[in-house]
Amino acid sequence: YGSINMKNLSIGILKTDTVRESLSPEFGEYPDMFIRLLKEIDDELNLVTYDVEHQEYPNNINEVDAYLITGSKYSVYDNEPWIIALTEFVRELHREHKKLIGICFGHQMVAHALGGSVDKSSEGWGLGVSESTLISAESWGTGGNKFNLLMSHQDQVMAPPENARVIAATKFCPILACQLEDHVLTFQGHPEFDKSYYRALMDVRRERLGDELYSQALEGATKPTDNPKVAQWIVNFLRKE
């Protein structure tokens, strides 16, 4: 059990979406964004991608030390075979007390799989930079409790996973981050998004959002983000005994 603290921690990135063809040459796929983010914190990390959107899984859950579920344009309550398979996999990870990080869709998937609930928010789109604070001091939460992350979501966690603690909240998004025991940590925001990808994504979505939301999204993205801080939290959490 102590091996997780050794230098070469391995993380399986569970890829739940494909970046639009117009954007992937410049920005890569979502796992690439997480690899860039986490390698900046610790370049010894061993990061492996499993394309769960196309039903690709490890042969054995202990192939890696920990898992991270990416963001996605899908909803966790969509009745897609791959989403149902991922729901089962999350339950298995939880039963085995494997370390698990969930981001955006991943945050929602953990709630959906482990006794919480997710739905489209009556508040509409969450866009731009969300300013939040950890509700209580966490041992992994180094460098101060405040954190800013880019948001891009319509669905929200309505009820947290069973026995989970809500560790960050905003008025717009009351369940912004959750911790379940010592092995699951999830965030609604996107530490892997840089501003240029976010702006490019909003450009692509402009028609769908409409001009008013689009300009709000860009205006809301001018505040600074704390991507490296949250990345450090994730690594601290995964390394914690």
Quote the pLDDT of residue 5: 53
Rounded-to-integer distance, Cα 202 and Cα 91, Å: 33
CATH code for the structural domain at 2-239: 3.40.50.880
Regions in the chain scoring below 50 on pLDDT? 1-3
Quote the pLDDT of residue 7: 61
Give the chain's radius of gyration (CA, Å).
17
Quote the pLDDT of residue 232: 98
Quote the pLDDT of residue 92: 98
- Count the helix, strand and coil residues of the chain and give each as a percent rounded to the nearest 5: 35, 25, 40
Sheet of strand 184-187, all strands in order from the earlier edge strand to the far edge: 46-50, 10-14, 66-69, 99-103, 184-187, 177-180, 165-168
What are the catalytic residues? 104, 190, 192
Give the tokens for residue 199.
């702006």
Rounded-to-integer distance, Cα 237 and Cα 92, Å: 20
Quote the pLDDT of residue 30: 98
Quote the pLDDT of residue 2: 47
Strands 66-69, 99-103: pairing is parallel
Break the chain into its structural domains and give their ranges. Answer: 2-239
State whether residue 85 is helix, strand or coil.
Answer: helix
List, in order, residues 6 or more apart from 226 with CB less than 8 Å away: 146, 147, 148, 149, 191
pLDDT per residue as tens digits for the range 156-205: 999 999 999 999 999 999 999 999 999 999 999 999 999 999 999 999 99
